[in-house]
C-alpha cells in the first residue's frame, strides 16, 4: 500500500528539488462543490498526485478544494487528464503563475479542513450557490473607468501593501473572517453601487461576493481567477494593467512581479522596497519587507536581538525559543510596523 504522507525531511526534499533537471509549472486552482467524504477524497488525491511528482499545498473540505501546486511541466497533460476526470473539476480554470522559477514547493501536503477558506460564517441560510458575477480582465478595466465603481481588496494588509488595483479599498485586517463583516460595514449605504471584490486567485473574493449578496447588496462582481488570472489575460490581450506593483503569493517566491512599480517601503529604513522575507532567526520567522542594504546589515533578521540570536550556539537558541510565542517581534499587519516584543520575564 502506498504511503499517503511524506516521510522525508524538509532539508532533503529541498535538496532534491534544487537538483531536479526538469522544469516545473506553478499553478493554483479552487472549486466550491460538495464533498461527502473529505478524508477519502484527500487520500485519493494524494495517491494520484504523488505518482505525478506534484508538490504543493492542498486543502480539502466539505465545501470544496483549494490548491497551490507545482507540476513537472512535461506531466501537465497527465495532470489535467487526472484532474478533469473528477466530474466537478472537469475543465476547471487553472491559474498559471506569472513569475515562476518552478521552485515554489518541495513537498506535497494535502490537509482536510472544516472549510477551504476560514470565514467565520455560522449563518445556516448562507449559501455559495448565489454569488457575484464574474468579470474578466477586459470587463474589470471597463468597470474601473466608472468613478462610481467600488473596488474592494479582500486580501490581508501585507498583500495589499506591495500591490493593488488603482483606487482599491483596503479592508485592513489580519484575517478573512474579520474582513467579511468589516467589508459589509464599509459598504453600508452603497447597496445599489457596482462593487467588485478581488483577491489573489479568486477563492476569497468569490465567497466574499456571495456574502455581500447575502447581506442585501445588489450589484456585486468578483474578479475571475483573481489577480493571477487578470495579469495573464492583460498580457495576452495587450490590455493596460490596472493592478500596480507585486502580487503576494503564499509559496517560497512570496510575490509575483506584475508591474515595475514599487509602492511599499522597507520596514527597517523606509526606502522603496517590496521584497518580503522571513526573519532568519528560527525562533521568530517574522514576515516583513526588507531592502538589500538592510538585509546585509541585519543579516536577514528583523531586529538586532534576532541578529545576535542567530550567532548563538544552537542549544542556546533552542533554550531562548522555549515558551516564546510568535518569535522575538510581532508584525502588526494592520499598522505595518515592527515593535519589540515584551520579554516573558517582564510581562
Task: Express each pLDDT in 210-222 by its tens digit.
Answer: 999 999 999 999 9
CA distance 167 to 252: 29
> For helices 38-51 and 76-84, what crossing angle results, to 10°?
160
10-112 shares its CATH topology with 133-245: no
In angstroms, the CA 18 to CA 20 distance is 6
Collapsing DSSP states into helix, strand and coil, what is residue 41?
helix
Integer distance in angstroms from the first to the last C-alpha of the chain? 52
Note the pLDDT tens digit of each residue in 119-131: 999 898 998 889 9
Side-chain-side CA neighbours of residue 66 (13 Å): 20
For the chain, helix, strand, coil in percent to 5 are 30, 20, 45
Angstrom distance (rounded) from CA 306 to CA 321: 11
* pTM beyond 0.85: no
Across residues 3-20, what is the average pLDDT?
Answer: 71
Residues 327, 309 contacting (CB under 8 angstroms): no
**DSSP letter string, 50-62:** HHTT-EEEEEEET
Task: Give DSSP secondary structure letters for 291-316.
Answer: -HHHHHHHTT-SSHHHHHHTTS-HHH
**Please, where are the H alpha helices in the chain?**
10-19, 38-51, 76-84, 137-144, 157-162, 176-187, 203-214, 226-236, 292-298, 304-309, 314-321
Active site residues: 199
**Beta-strand pair 64-72/95-96:** unpaired
- Say whether pLDDT at 265 is over 70: yes
228 within 8 A of 247, measured Cβ to Cβ:
yes
Q: What confidence category does residue 13 fall into, taking pLDDT thresholds of 50, 70 and 90?
A: low
CA distance 151 to 61: 29
The CATH class of the 10-112 domain is alpha beta
Architecture of domain 133-245: 3-Layer(aba) Sandwich (3.40)
* Average pLDDT for the chain: 86
β-pairing, 24-32 vs 163-165, is unpaired
Domain ranges for the chain: 10-112, 133-245, 276-340
Q: Given a cut of 90, is residue 19 above it in pLDDT?
A: no
Residue 7: count of CB within 10 angstroms of its CB: 5
- What's the half-sphere exposure (Cβ side, CA atoms, 13 Å) at 7? 3
Lookup: cell for 66: 483549494
Section 311-326 average pLDDT = 75
By CB neighbour count within 10 A (0-12 exposed, 13-18 middle, 19+ buried), where does 274 fall?
A: buried
Cα–Cα distance, 238 to 107 (Å, whole number): 36
Give the per-residue pLDDT at 255.
Answer: 80
Mean pLDDT value of segment 175-189: 93
Amino acid at each position: 500500500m502506498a504511503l499517503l504522507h511524506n516521510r522525508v525531511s524538509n532539508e532533503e526534499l529541498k535538496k532534491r528539488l534544487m537538483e531536479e533537471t526538469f522544469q516545473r509549472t506553478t499553478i493554483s486552482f479552487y472549486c466550491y462543490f460538495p464533498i461527502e467524504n473529505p478524508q477519502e477524497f484527500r487520500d485519493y488525491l494524494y495517491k494520484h498526485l504523488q505518482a505525478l511528482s506534484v508538490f504543493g499545498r492542498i486543502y480539502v473540505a466539505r465545501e470544496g478544494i483549494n490548491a497551490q501546486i507545482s507540476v513537472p511541466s512535461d506531466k501537465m497533460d497527465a495532470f489535467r487528464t487526472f484532474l478533469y476526470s473528477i466530474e466537478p473539476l472537469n475543465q476547471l480554470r487553472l491559474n498559471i503563475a506569472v513569475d515562476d522559477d518552478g521552485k515554489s514547493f518541495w513537498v506535497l501536503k494535502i490537509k482536510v479542513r472544516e472549510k477551504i477558506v476560514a470565514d467565520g460564517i455560522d449563518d445556516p441560510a448562507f449559501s455559495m450557490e448565489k454569488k457575484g458575477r464574474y468579470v474578466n480582465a477586459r470587463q474589470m478595466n471597463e468597470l474601473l473607468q466608472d468613478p462610481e465603481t467600488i473596488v474592494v481588496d479582500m486580501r490581508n494588509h501585507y498583500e495589499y501593501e506591495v500591490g493593488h488595483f488603482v483606487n482599491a479599498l483596503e479592508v485592513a485586517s489580519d484575517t478573512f473572517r474579520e474582513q467579511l463583516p468589516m467589508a459589509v460595514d464599509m459598504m453600508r449605504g452603497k447597496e445599489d453601487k457596482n462593487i467588485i471584490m478581488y483577491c489573489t486567485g479568486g477563492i476569497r473574493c468569490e465567497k466574499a461576493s456571495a456574502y455581500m449578496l447575502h447581506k442585501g447588496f445588489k450589484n456585486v462582481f468578483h474578479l475571475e481567477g483573481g489577480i493571477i488570472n487578470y495579469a495573464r489575460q492583460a498580457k495576452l490581450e495587450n490590455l493596460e494593467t490596472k493592478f500596480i506593483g507585486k502580487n503576494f503569493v503564499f509559496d517560497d517566491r512570496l510575490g509575483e512581479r506584475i508591474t515595475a512599480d514599487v509602492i511599499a517601503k522597507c520596514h527597517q529604513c523606509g526606502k522603496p522596497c517590496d521584497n518580503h522575507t522571513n526573519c532568519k532567526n528560527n525562533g521568530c520567522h517574522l514576515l516583513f519587507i526588507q531592502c538589500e542594504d538592510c538585509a546585509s546589515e541585519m543579516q536577514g533578521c528583523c531586529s538586532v536581538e534576532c541578529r545576535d540570536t542567530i550567532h548563538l550556539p544552537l542549544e542556546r537558541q533552542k533554550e531562548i525559543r522555549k515558551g516564546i510565542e510568535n518569535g522575538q517581534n510581532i508584525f502588526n499587519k494592520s499598522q505595518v510596523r515592527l515593535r519589540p516584543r515584551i520579554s516573558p520575564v517582564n510581562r
